[in-house]
Structure formats: C-alpha cells, structure tokens
Amino acid sequence: MTLPHARFSLNQATIKHASLGEAIGLCVEQGVASIGLWREPVAEAGLGRSVRLLRDSGLRFSSMCRGGFLTDPKDRSAALDENRRAIEETAALAAAGARGSAAVLVMVAGGIPEGSTIAEARARLEEGVAELAPEAEAAGVTLALEPLHPMYASDRAVLSTLGQALDIAERVGSPAVGAVVDAFHVWWDPDVAAQVRRAGAAGRIASYQACDWRTPLPADVLLSRHLPGGGVIDFAALTALVNESGYTGDVEVEVFNAELWAQPYGEALRETWQTFNAHVGVHLS
Amino acid sequence: MTLPHARFSLNQATIKHASLGEAIGLCVEQGVASIGLWREPVAEAGLGRSVRLLRDSGLRFSSMCRGGFLTDPKDRSAALDENRRAIEETAALAAAGARGSAAVLVMVAGGIPEGSTIAEARARLEEGVAELAPEAEAAGVTLALEPLHPMYASDRAVLSTLGQALDIAERVGSPAVGAVVDAFHVWWDPDVAAQVRRAGAAGRIASYQACDWRTPLPADVLLSRHLPGGGVIDFAALTALVNESGYTGDVEVEVFNAELWAQPYGEALRETWQTFNAHVGVHLS
C-alpha cells in the first residue's frame, strides 16, 4: 500500500471546510505524519482543545498560518497584539506536536494601505518584524516571512521575493526571522536559485511549501493554486535546490482551490499526498 | 489651453480599435508629438502607406510593438524570421518619424511551451536574442527586452524582471540590446531602483512606459491596466529614478483596458494624456 511521503504535511487550508478535529482525524487515518494549522479553525476549536487534539494524534505540527499584516499605520498596535497571540499559539501547538514539530509562524506582509506608497508599506512591515522578533525568539518561535507572488503586491503582501525577505531578516538581525519558500510564489523568480542557496547558508529556510501554478488564472486569483503536477512549476529543480540548502523539515501542500474544496475531505487529502509523492516527494533527499 | 506633455507618446494599443490613420490623425489634432505603433495595424495599412502617414504627420515614432516570442523550439525558425521582418519595419518607421524618433523594437519573450521547463524557455529566449542582435545592430534598431509582470511568466513572458533583462543584455554583449521599463510590469519589484540605475549606467533604457496597477484584477488579466493615477503605482518615485538614469526619450502610455477601448477614440486619447500630464509628466525632468 502506498503511504504519504514521510515529510509530507497537510496544510489545513487545502481541506478548508473541514474542522480541526476532522482534518487531524483524516491525517491519522491515511498515515499523514504532519499538519500545518490555521488560526481561525484553531480558535473555533479553542486553543486548549486544539493542543489536546494535536497531542493525542501523534502528528507533527509544521507551521501556523498566519501572522503579519503589518503595513497599515492605522491598525498597528492591534496588528502587533494579534501577532503576539499568534506567537503564543504557535509555541503551544509546536510543543504539543510530535518530535520534529516546527514552531513556525507564517507571516503574510499585508498590502498597500490607502494613502501609502509601497515603499512606506514595506518600511512598516520591517519595523513590525523588528519589534516582534525578540518576542518570537523568547518564545522559541520563528517568524517565517512569506514572499507572495507579485500579483498580490498591492492588496495582500508587499513582500514579493525571497531576496527581499532575506534582506529584511538580515537587517533585523534576529535568528528568529526566517523565510518560507512557497513554490507557487517564487517559481517564476529568475533569482530563486541564488536566494534559496542564500537562505540555506543563513539557516533561514523555515518552511518549504509545494503547490502548482497554471493559467488561465481564475476570476478570484486567490484561488489559483493547483496540486503539484497540475501546472508548470519545475518541482525537480526547486526541490533539488531546497535539498541542497540543507532543509530537512516537513513540506506542506497548501492549495486554495474551489474544486478541491468541494470534494469530500478524505478524497481531497488522498489526492493531495498522492500528487505530492509523485511530483515533490520523489525529489526530496 | 493645456497641451500634452512634450514627451508623452500614445501607444496605439491604448486606442486599439482605431486604424493607424485615425490614431495618427487624433495625435496631430490634439498636439501629441509622438506615437508607438503595433505591427498588426501597420500591416493592415501596409508598411509603405504607414511610413507615408507617419512622415506626413510630423510625429515622432517611439517604439514598435512587438517582436520576441522566442521560447518555443517548434517555431524557432519562423519566429526568428518574424523578428527579422519586425526589425526592418522598425527601422523604416523610425526613419520616417520626426527628429527624436527611436528605432526601438519591444520584445515580449514568450511563455513556457508544453514540455519545457521555465529554465529551458529562458535559455531559448537568450539564444534568440543573441542571434538577432547583430542583425538589429546592423539595422540601427534596439531590441528592447520587456520584462512582463510575473503573473504572465507561464503563458506570455518568461522574462520577469529588469535585472533578468539586463543580465541577458550583458551576456549577449551587444549595444543593440536594451530594456523597457514599464511601470505596470516592474513597480512591485523590491530591486527596481537598483536595476533602473544599472540600466541607466549601461545606457540600456530603451523605453519608459507608464500605466497603472489596480486590484481586483479583471477576469482577463491581460486587460488589467489602468491610466496613470488610476492605481497604486508610485509614479513620482519611479519617474525620479528614470530621470536619474539619464533617460530623456518619449514616455508611452500603453493601456489595455476594455472600458477605455469602448470610449470614442478622441476622448480616450485626451483622457490618456491628461492623466499622464498629472501623474507622470509633472515628475519628468
């Protein structure tokens, strides 16, 4: 019987409409060893119950999605507090996960607020990360800056490349700041090889995520992700780079796709790890 | 009476459904001094007639759109021949334009063909540019490599950043290879300031184009461009960079937008140069 690759992790958003309990149950049932969680379903279950569900499951915890949204001057203090709560939750869940869990909080930058330039929004992001980094470090949590595809640069994430994330990490200068290598977001970058190597050399790859890019884009470009192998991304080349960089952690599949969300959760999960095995797992060292 | 900025150039695609004669006539009527043309309407009018229309108008010619599409191994020889014809047409039109015309052929790379990786497609682009560069140089034409926004990386242009365009130009090593700085395509790039400076220092800015970015994106992302001021791009900052780089040529507005295309051509042209004056022209040195 084929099993999920040992380093495969289900990002919960891939079966978005399942509850935390359902998602964890399905992973256990199908032999998936790791899960990445989102704050909303964790809040719905309650943090205490989420911690117990995770501990009892024996699953590893691979990341918490998400912190960030640090670009708006109006909401600054509230955004920082929200990130502090996310850091605490990440630490609690990572401690509850099986050995090999990662206390990684994925950080989505936030977009350009009304009346700001992109440069101003980027500066605010960096200030926020610098303010949170010591607290994350004290909690043993890595703030994993996630560059998003440049098509989201205006309304979701002014952090657009891995190089930019690493520049921020270097300037902030904290070991608690890392970066996410999400294939969907970075595959097009002519500089991706150099930047994955740089991230590896600096010990800053906090997460590797795999989902595929295909055109035409759907009307809602947030839902334009596909399972590995469903698009044009060269997972052999990108995964080889990530191997070379020394990253040995779990690899999440995080797909936002209306058709996948409409499938029964168990089927969607099975298809997710099967395509992962075939297109990414085979290349993992 | 307000006139169009002296360096404003109408890219013909902004009033796509006008014939070449209509577009030229409207520019003359409204005091626009320069025009960028597309191959299809030029072919429709015939090259000889296009040359005469342009010469008689007294307009400058700012660029020809477009060559390129060099990534598919199947169509390689046909694509090179098509580019050779485009080089000839560009030279003929630039010679017919008023003093200050630019013999610039805008090059759109082409996407990832079925069965290729992005790396293979990029290598083919570079080979094609290297093959065409001596012919362009002999004809006095600049091949202006146009990085397109990374959301087009799979299906239209594997050339995604200004840095990548300049890397190709340097490796090819011909003075006939330049780059387009199109605000819509490069505004998000965290490295854009450094790369515009690099392009300026190398004398490789062949064209500066201004149109704006706004979300949500329309269903057809090819039509997601807006007139200057209609979106989030910081034209003050980008134009200051282009000034600093030493570029003194015409500045085109090239907007693909279904609503603009539906307007009477004269109104659309007037709105185009008025928004250009207000949001770009004021920053030009």
CATH number at residue B246: 3.20.20.150
pLDDT digits (tens, 9 = 90+) for B89-113: 999 999 999 999 999 999 999 999 9
Instruction: Give the Cα separation of B13 and B87 in Å (integer).
Output: 19
**A151:B154 CB<8 A:** no
**A149:B154 CB<8 A:** no
Chain A interface test: which of B120, B148, B164, B215 (most A C-beta within 10 Å): B215
Mean pLDDT, range A25-35, rounded to an integer: 98
pLDDT digits (tens, 9 = 90+) for B115-166: 999 999 999 999 999 999 999 999 999 999 999 999 999 999 999 999 999 9
Q: What is the pLDDT of residue B51?
A: 98
Q: What is the pLDDT of residue A220?
A: 86
Q: What is the pLDDT of residue B224?
A: 86
What Cα–Cα distance (Å) separates residue B179 from each residue in A154, A189, B175, B199? 24, 18, 11, 8
Does the residue A2 lie in any domain? no
A59-A60-A65 Cα angle (round to 5): 115
DSSP-derived letter for residue A109 is: -
Q: What is the pLDDT of residue B268?
A: 97
Mean pLDDT, range A14-18, rounded to an integer: 96
Going by pLDDT thresholds of 50, 70 and 90, the confidence category of residue A114 is very high
Does the residue B207 lie in any domain? yes
Chain B interface test: which of A215, A220, A221, A223 (most B C-beta within 10 Å): A215
Mean pLDDT, range A62-87, rounded to an integer: 97
Work out the minimum CA distance from B80 to partner chain A, whole angstroms.
Answer: 24
Q: Tokens 């030029």 appear where?
A: B42
Does the residue A52 lie in any domain? yes
Of A36, A24, A34, A43, residue with least CA distance to A3? A34
Does the residue B129 lie in any domain? yes
Does the residue A3 lie in any domain? no
Does the residue B112 lie in any domain? yes
Residue A249 scores a pLDDT above 80:
yes
Does the residue B188 lie in any domain? yes
Q: What is the pLDDT of residue B218?
A: 85
Work out the minimum CA distance from B30 to partner chain A, whole angstroms.
Answer: 33
Residue A54 scores a pLDDT above 80:
yes
Does the residue B1 lie in any domain? no
- Chain B residues lying within 8 Å of A167, measured CB to CB: 190
Range with the poorest average pLDDT among A93-97, A219-223, B99-103, B265-269: A219-223
CB A196 within 8 A of CB A242: yes
CB A211 within 8 A of CB A225: yes
> What is the ipTM metric for this complex?
0.95
Return the higher-pLDDT residue of B185 and B217. Answer: B185
Mean pLDDT computed over every residue of chain A: 97
**B160:A190 CB<8 A:** yes
Q: β-strands B142-145, A104-108: how paired?
A: unpaired
Query: Max Cα separation, chain B?
Result: 57
Other Cβ atoms less than 10 A from the Cβ of A192: the count is 20
CB B158 within 8 A of CB B112: yes
Q: What is the pLDDT of residue B221?
A: 83
What is the number of structural domains in chain B?
1
Residue B270 scores a pLDDT above 80:
yes
CB B3 within 8 A of CB B28: no
Q: Tokens 């065409």 appear where?
A: B132
Closest CB to A153 among B117, B153, B188: B188
CB B138 within 8 A of CB B101: no
Scanning A109-148 for CB atoms below 8 A from B yields 112, 117-119, 122
Q: Residues of chain B with pLDDT > 90: what percent?
A: 96
Q: What is the pLDDT of residue A38?
A: 98
Please give the interface size between A and B, counted as residue pairs whose CB atoms are below 8 Å apart: 84
Mean pLDDT computed over every residue of chain B: 97
Structural domain for A84, as ranges: 8-283
pLDDT digits (tens, 9 = 90+) for B225-236: 999 999 999 999
Nearest residue in A to B163, CA atom: A190
A109-A19-A264 Cα angle (round to 5): 105
Q: What is the pLDDT of residue A198?
A: 98
Instruction: Give the Cα separation of B211 and B228 in Å (integer).
Output: 5
Two tokens at B34? 């320069």
Residue A1 scores a pLDDT above 80:
no
Q: Residues of chain B with pLDDT > 70: what percent?
A: 100
First to last CA, chain B: 22
Question: Model pTM greater than 0.80?
Answer: yes
Q: What is the pLDDT of residue A102?
A: 98
Instruction: Give the Cα separation of A13 and B200 in Å (integer).
Output: 45
**B188:A150 CB<8 A:** yes
Q: What is the pLDDT of residue A206?
A: 98
